[in-house]
Copies of this chain bind each other. A is one copy, B any other.
Amino acid sequence: MRLEYPLILINFKSYREASGKKALELARTAQKVSRDTGLTIAVAPQLTDLHFVAANVEIPVFSQHVDDVSPGSYTGHVTLEAVKDAGAIGTMINHSERRVRADQVDVIVKRARELSLVTVVCTNTPEVTAAMAALGPDIVAIEPPELIGTGIPVSKAKPEVVTSSVELVRRINPAVKVLCGAGITTGEDVAAALRLGTVGVLLASGVVKAKDWEKAIRELVEPILKRA
């Protein structure tokens, strides 16, 4: 599956609102809006729901995390092969809530490439974004942790964090794409993220905690549709 941009990536975190059967329900809602609008909307369900969700939708599905081990005697670990076998197209790594070490990101990015899996490496500062870009993942997602879950978008609170991240990535490894995360809840936030030079957004509570999932996702993608 080839990933098209702009990309809206919805992280289900470990919210119970999107756990078990509701994970599939949310994924199918995202799929409905994606089909109606032609835009790429991807989901990252909880680890336990990964195969269950990926087996039942056709939009891109990501793992929220992966370990740096190959298949084998690794009870309780998540391998890239398991992610692939589950039907996901790739994986997030290094989210602020689940950081891994740089040498592990290096191993995971290299192995993911061999397995044709997409890597989305989360970062917190322009310097860390630059560092992670040097490891050559497909996507880096810059998310100042202090804004996560606040509803205050990074594009408003700290646009310079995004623009300097975009610049550093262009200089160090222009093949790497940049997503913008933290505090995203409205379509205007998404439009602002794209204006700052990113290819899309990573968000969680803005959708998962919304009362009406379809409405929340439609509002997110509207400004992109108008732009197109």
Q: State the A residues within 8 Å of B (CB).
A: 11, 13-16, 19-23, 46-52, 55, 63-65, 69, 71-79, 81-88, 92, 94-103, 105-106, 123-125, 127-128, 130-136, 148-149, 168, 172, 204-205
Contacts and interface: CB of A to CB of B under 8 A. Distances in A.
Contact of A100 (B52, B79, B101, B125): B101
Given A49-B51, A127-B106, A95 B75 contact: yes
Contacts of A96: 75, 103
A161 to B, nearest CB: 13
Contacts of A76: 47, 64-65, 92, 95, 97-98
Given A102-B132, A134-B127, A20 B86 contact: yes
A173 to B, nearest CB: 9
Nearest to A129: B134
Contacts of A205: 73
Contacts of A85: 16, 19-22, 48-49
Contacts of A132: 102, 131
Nearest to A99: B101
B79 A106 contact: no
Contacts of A69: 14
Contact of A75 (B73, B92, B168): B92
